[in-house]
Chains A and B, each alone.
Chain A
Amino acid sequence: MTTAIVILVLLAGAYVVAVLEGWATNGRLRPAGPALDAVALLGRESVVTRSSDRIFFEVGPVLLLISALLAAAVLPLSPGLVVTDLATGALFVNMALAFVMVALVMAGWGPDGVYAMVGGWRFLGQLVGYSMLIVMPLTAVAMRAESLFTIRIVESQGALWNVIFQPLGFVLFFLAALAVCFLPPFDLPTAPGELAGGVMAEYTGARLAIMRLARMVLVVTLAVTVTVFYLGGWIGPVLPPWAWTLGKSLLVAAVMLFAGRYVPRIREEHFLQWFWKFGIPLALVNILYVGIVLLVVDK
């Protein structure tokens, strides 16, 4: 039952995010747009390229969807509404998100197309940049909660949300979250206007529909992740807990979609330079700062 509710929420969220993305890209608000697009895509021919690696070609989009769903499985929407509350929750999110990269490498290699392959390998480089900025801010979050249970992490923010307690960690994690779901300015693997769609370039019809759906679910999952780890999850007055989680997540998703539109796309080597030379030292400073506050100030 819980699983069904969570999947429905994710799908509904993905729909709203798709509407928002259309609005952010085209400047037009079309509430029925994604549904019409989906019908159109499903009706279209789904082309398989010549001498493609068929297994990778088919598995790529599905694995992307699975990894986004798996990450969402440990995120609580309200105190009782979580698919499975694992003792390794925060680590499990990170594990599931690692397979986003595997899916994109597969989808890039599979179709035997130049743009797709460049896009796929680019995302591998992108992972090398952002992965530390997922793990290290999460370490600081887990330090405060003294647990990897996602529910305990939300409860630890009862007095003060992590976004205020460790703002540096929040900024780093938010940027890394943008990079995970390859949204602008970190949309290197798809890079419209330069790679002609990159990993998505060779996908058509139903396969493209799955890929787009997976990407939207990924955005929703990351928005919920930011909410759970930094914005106090379900914590809030008056409204029921689930409404707070959904409201905050929607806001985060909107910011994720709109913020990047005002920044030019970053180049791969600049991305790596900034994330490694500035991001990782800052993440270490964040861990040190949180440790000092927890051990010295709070005691």
Chain B
Amino acid sequence: MLQTIFVGLFGIAAIWFGVVVFTTSSMVRSALALLFSQVAIGAMFLAMQSEFLGVLQIMMMATEMSIMAIFMVMYMMDPGGLMGMDMTHQKRISQAVGVLGALLVIGLVFLVGWGPIAGSVSPGRQVHDLGIELMERSMLIFETAGITILTAMIATIAVALERRR
């Protein structure tokens, strides 16, 4: 019961911060609101007893969203949101798509048969199993993804470098 309440509370917090992302004009506020929305999702994982996933989510988002914040400040004309710049467009279509999407997701929640609820595994066991999974079955996938990202990083830097004569 308590678990359900907390999952719900963190869920509402996640949605609330998600709304703030779009209602504020300050780029830094927007980025950090997204950060705290993701932290709330991490807290939902914690409330659902998947400890490793929750801690990892909260940790990764802190860094990623802050780095995103500085890029938004660098690229936007009005990072502080003090000049009343309007960044929205195609409002009608966006609203319609948003409402439809939300209805679809809510419908799926109730219509899909979720099957029996899995029993909880001890957090220590979760860490162990994740490690085995990463080092055995999923190793190739993760290594491929890692190399791909590295290639993209090197390519980006190569493109951004000034040509030397």
Q: Which residues of chain A have a CB within 8 Å of any CB of chain B?
A: 51, 53, 55-56, 86-88, 91-92, 94-95, 98-99, 101-102, 105-106, 109, 112, 121, 124, 127-128, 131, 147-149
Contact = CB atoms under 8 A, between A and B. Distances in A.
A88 B123 contact: yes
B120 to A, nearest CB: 13
B143 to A, nearest CB: 16
Given A56-B32, A87-B123, 5 more contacts: A51-B82, A53-B28, A87-B124, A94-B59, A101-B66
Nearest to A59: B32
For chain B, what secondary structure do more than half of its interface residues adopt (helix, strand, loop), or is it mixed?
A: helix
Q: Which of A55, A99, A101 has the most chain B CB within a 10 Å cutoff?
A: A99
A98 B124 CA distance: 23
B28 A87 contact: no
B37 interface: no
A108 B62 CA distance: 16
B123 A86 contact: yes
A105 B63 CA distance: 11
Interface string B3-32: 000000000000000000000001011001
B70 A98 contact: no
A91 B59 contact: yes
Contacts, number: 64
A102 B35 contact: yes
B153 interface: no
Interface stretch (B50-58, B94-102, B107-115, B157-165): B50-58
A141 to B, nearest CB: 15
Interface of A is mostly: helix
Contacts of B52: 87-88, 91
30 contacts: A53-B28, A53-B29, A56-B28, A86-B55, A87-B52, A87-B122, A87-B127, A88-B51, A88-B123, A88-B127, A91-B55, A91-B56, A94-B59, A95-B55, A95-B56, A95-B58, A95-B62, A98-B59, A98-B63, A101-B62, A101-B63, A101-B66, A102-B62, A105-B28, A109-B28, A112-B80, A124-B66, A124-B67, A147-B124, A149-B124
A128 B26 CA distance: 24
Nearest to A87: B123
B63 to A, nearest CB: 6
Contacts of A95: 55-56, 58-59, 62
Contacts of A56: 28-29, 32
A42 to B, nearest CB: 29
Interface string B106-137: 00000000000000001110110000000000
Contact residues on B (Cβ < 8 Å of other chain), bracket:
20 to 34
B40 interface: no
A221 B26 CA distance: 33
B69 interface: yes
Contacts of B123: 86-88
Given A87-B126, A91-B59, A105 B82 contact: no
A145 to B, nearest CB: 12
Interface in B33-92: 35, 51-52, 55-56, 58-59, 62-63, 66-67, 69-70, 80, 82
B62 A106 contact: no
Contacts of A55: 29
A105 to B, nearest CB: 5
